[in-house]
A and B are shown apart, each in its own frame.
Chain A
C-alpha cells in the first residue's frame, strides 16, 4: 500500500504568513494527488486536485505543486478562515485510496 506522510503535523502561523505543507508518498503517484481542508465538526472540502488544479470557488491564495513522491500545498497569505486541518489524498493505486494523517494549522 502507498503511505502518505504529511509534515509538519502541526503548524503555527500568523495572519498574512505564507505557509507550506508537505505531503510525501512512499512511491511515485505521478500527479494523482488531492488536497482538502477540514474545519472542526465539518466535512472535508476539496481544494486542489491533480496536484495543482484549483477547485472552482477556492481562493487563489491556495496553490499546489509537485509530482512523483513529493507535493506541497501553499497558502500565500494566511487569512483567519484558513486555520483548519489539511489532508492530502492519493488516487494513483486502484482501487485503494489513502489519505495523509493531516496537518493542523494553528494561530500563532
Chain B
C-alpha cells in the first residue's frame, strides 16, 4: 500500500526558507503517469495546490506562489521536496504531499487530475 510521509522543521523564521521532504513507501516514485504534489492548508482554512513534479523532474507550480517555490525529486531515495523562500506568517499551514494522478502526460502542459493518496500532513509555523 502506497504511503507518503512529510518531514521537516515545524518552525521557520520570517524571511527564511521552508524546506520539507516527502518520503514515498510501498511503491516507486519513478512510476509512469503519476506526478507528486504539494498542497497546503492554513489553520481553519481550505486547501491550496502548491505544485507537482514528475520523476523526470518536470514541474508545475501554482502561479500565485511560483516565484518562491522550488520542488525537486530524488529518485534514489524515493523522495520529493518542497522549498518555499521568503516566508511570512501567511505561509503558516499544514503542508501535505500527495500522489497526483496523470491523465495525459504526453501533452504540454501535462493534464493532471486528482490527488490520492495523501500524507498525514505536517504543520509549519512561521514565527520569530
Chain A neighbourhood of B113, CB < 8 A: 32, 34, 49, 91
Q: Which of B10-18, B23-31, B74-82, B115-123 contacts A (4 or more CB under 8 A)?
A: B115-123
Contact check, A95 vs B60: say whether CB atoms are below 8 A apart.
yes
Instruction: Report the minimal beta-carbon distance from A36 to chain B, rounded to whole angstroms.
Output: 8
Interface residues on B, range: 20 to 34
A87 to B47, CA, bound (A): 8
Which one of B48, B61, B112, B116 lies within 8 Å of A94 (CB-CB)?
B112
Does A82 interact with chain B (Cβ within 8 Å)?
A: no
Bound complex: CA of A49 vs CA of B48, how far in Å? 18
The complex places the Cα of A86 from the Cα of B40 at a distance, in Å, of: 16
Q: Is the interface of A mostly helix, strand, loop or mixed?
A: loop
Cβ of A7 to closest chain B Cβ, rounded Å: 14
A-side interface residues, number (CB < 8 Å): 22
Please state if A102 and B46 are interface contacts (CB–CB under 8 Å).
Answer: yes
Interface centre among B46, B63, B109, B112 (most CB of A within 10 A): B46
Asked, given contacts A43-B120, A43-B121, A45-B118, whether A95 binds B46 with beta carbons under 8 Å apart, the answer is no
- Per-residue CB contact flags for chain A residues 53-66 toward chain B (1 = under 8 Å, else 0) read 00100000000000
Residues of chain B within 8 A (CB-CB) of A99 are 46-49
Q: Which 6 A-B pairs have the closest CB atoms?
A: A95-B60, A34-B114, A43-B118, A46-B116, A99-B47, A97-B49
Q: A36-B115, A43-B118 are in contact. List 5 more A-B contacts (CB 8 A).
A: A34-B115, A49-B113, A99-B48, A99-B49, A101-B46
